[in-house]
């Protein structure tokens, strides 16, 4: 995170946690309120150079040839076994590509991609200190000085970058350099947006079915298990990329036996990521935890489950067997 941006947030009494979240203590905001948050859990990797498009096309699940500076796409980088190393949101900025990745995975992703560059004219740049990412949850009618995209995953450059997420309950990612980010923040506060902790953005991503992996969930799932195909993040006609054979075989043979689901549970502590989910009907493990959000004693969970595990009333967490899950 940009040091000056971090200092700015600190002056607003925000706390930066070790897992790259920004917390505003004491904020209790209604779901029916416009709010703004630093999306510090994501960072930007810039891919530039004459061969950037060809290089990324051979490494990612999505089809870059379908993108321009007016739209964006979810996608993933996979290992040779088709397991997702990281998901991302990719957008085009003039001749370069910007990838929004989990902050904790960006260094390892950059290192892995560097191994495949060889003689290609490609440059990878960690822009964590260059760009700040803001999240706008705009549920109420509003008039802003910013122009906003009108469709899901549509992108505007003005010169800050704005990406819309969602059709009916829109929210927006705003990507800007530090000085501009501070101007946007103060301007939006003046227009009625309320500061909110970035963990609330995690919750909205979980509810929207957007999978963001962490270090201990990386390389555990093929893209279809994360419902990335449903998000438009897999192209099955773009040609080869790392892990493509496994991903394509799963698609054409119809053998995706696991998928991502969302549930809630009454918990005081969140279960560990990758924690097992057990079917009490047979005592067998049927899935694992991908992401969590804890608020009070309500925990929202994003899970990858065996598709035949349809009776959520029979599912429990391995480390908290007295708690049953409720599908949302």
- List, for residues 253-279, the tens digit of each pLDDT value: 877 789 999 999 999 899 999 999 998
Rg (CA), the chain: 20
The confidence score (pLDDT) of residue 33 equals: 81
Collapsing DSSP states into helix, strand and coil, what is residue 328?
coil
Within its chain, how far is the Cα of 135 from the centroid? Answer: 12
Please state the pTM of the whole predicted model. 0.93
| 42, 101 contact by CB (below 8 A) | yes
> Per-residue pLDDT for 312 more than 80?
no
Distance CA 274, CA 288 (A): 5
The confidence score (pLDDT) of residue 27 equals: 63
pLDDT tens sequence across 136-173: 998 766 667 788 898 999 999 977 999 999 987 789 99
Q: Is the bond leading into 125 cis (omega within 30 degrees of zero)?
A: no
Share of the chain above pLDDT 70, in %: 97
pLDDT tens sequence across 39-72: 999 999 999 999 999 999 999 999 999 999 999 9
**Which phi and psi angles does 211 have, rounded to 5°?**
-90, 120
Q: How far apart are the first and last CA of the chain?
A: 34
Neighbour count for residue 50 (Cβ, 10 Å): 12
Q: Which residues pair with 258 in a beta bridge?
A: 306
Residues 6+ positions from 322 with CB-CB distance below 8 Å = 316
> Per-residue pLDDT for 98 more than 70?
yes
Domains of the chain from N-terminus onward: 1-223 (3.30.1360.120), 224-327 (2.40.30.160)
> Per-residue pLDDT for 291 more than 80?
yes
Neighbour count for residue 29 (Cβ, 10 Å): 15
Of the candidates 103, 87, 95, 101, the one whose C-alpha atom is nearest the C-alpha of residue 123 is 95
pLDDT tens sequence across 172-207: 999 999 999 999 999 999 988 999 999 999 999 999
The confidence score (pLDDT) of residue 327 equals: 85
Collapsing DSSP states into helix, strand and coil, what is residue 95?
coil
Q: Which residues pair with 74 in a beta bridge?
A: 89
Least confident of 52-66, 108-122, 204-218, 307-321: 307-321
| 17, 23 contact by CB (below 8 A) | yes
Neighbour count for residue 178 (Cβ, 10 Å): 18
> Per-residue pLDDT for 13 more than 70?
yes
Of the candidates 156, 194, 151, the one whose C-alpha atom is nearest the C-alpha of residue 176 is 156
The confidence score (pLDDT) of residue 28 equals: 63
User: Count of H helices and E strands in the chain?
Assistant: 6, 20
């Amino acid at each position: 995170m940009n040091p000056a941006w971090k200092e700015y947030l600190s002056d607003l009494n925000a706390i930066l946690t070790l897992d790259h979240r920004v917390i505003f203590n004491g904020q209790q905001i209604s779901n029916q309120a416009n709010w703004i948050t630093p999306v510090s859990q994501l960072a930007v990797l810039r891919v530039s150079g004459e061969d950037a498009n060809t290089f990324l096309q051979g490494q990612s699940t999505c089809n870059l040839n379908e993108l321009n500076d007016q739209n964006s796409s979810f996608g993933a980088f996979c290992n040779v076994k088709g397991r997702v190393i990281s998901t991302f949101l990719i957008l085009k900025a003039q001749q370069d590509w910007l990838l929004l990745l989990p902050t904790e995975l960006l260094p390892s992703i950059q290192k892995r991609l560097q191994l495949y560059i060889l003689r290609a004219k490609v440059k990878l740049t960690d822009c964590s200190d260059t760009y700040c990412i803001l999240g706008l949850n705009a549920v109420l009618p509003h008039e802003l000085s910013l122009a906003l995209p009108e469709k899901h995953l549509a992108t505007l450059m003005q010169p800050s970058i704005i990406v819309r997420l969602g059709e009916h309950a829109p929210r927006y990612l705003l990507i800007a350099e530090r000085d501009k980010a501070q101007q946007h923040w103060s301007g939006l506060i003046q227009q009625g947006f309320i500061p909110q902790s970035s963990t609330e953005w995690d919750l909205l991503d979980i509810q929207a079915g957007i999978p963001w992996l962490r270090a201990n969930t990386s390389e555990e799932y093929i893209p279809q298990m994360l419902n990335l195909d449903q998000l438009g993040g897999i192209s099955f006609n773009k040609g080869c990329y790392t892990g493509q054979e496994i991903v394509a075989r799963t698609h054409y043979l119809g053998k995706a036996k696991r998928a991502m689901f969302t549930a809630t549970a009454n918990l005081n502590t969140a279960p560990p990521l990758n924690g097992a989910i057990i079917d009490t009907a047979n005592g067998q493990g049927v899935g694992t935890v991908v992401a969590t959000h804890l608020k009070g004693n309500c925990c929202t969970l994003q899970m990858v489950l065996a598709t035949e595990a349809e009776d959520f009333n029979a599912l429990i967490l391995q480390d908290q067997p007295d708690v049953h899950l409720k599908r949302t």
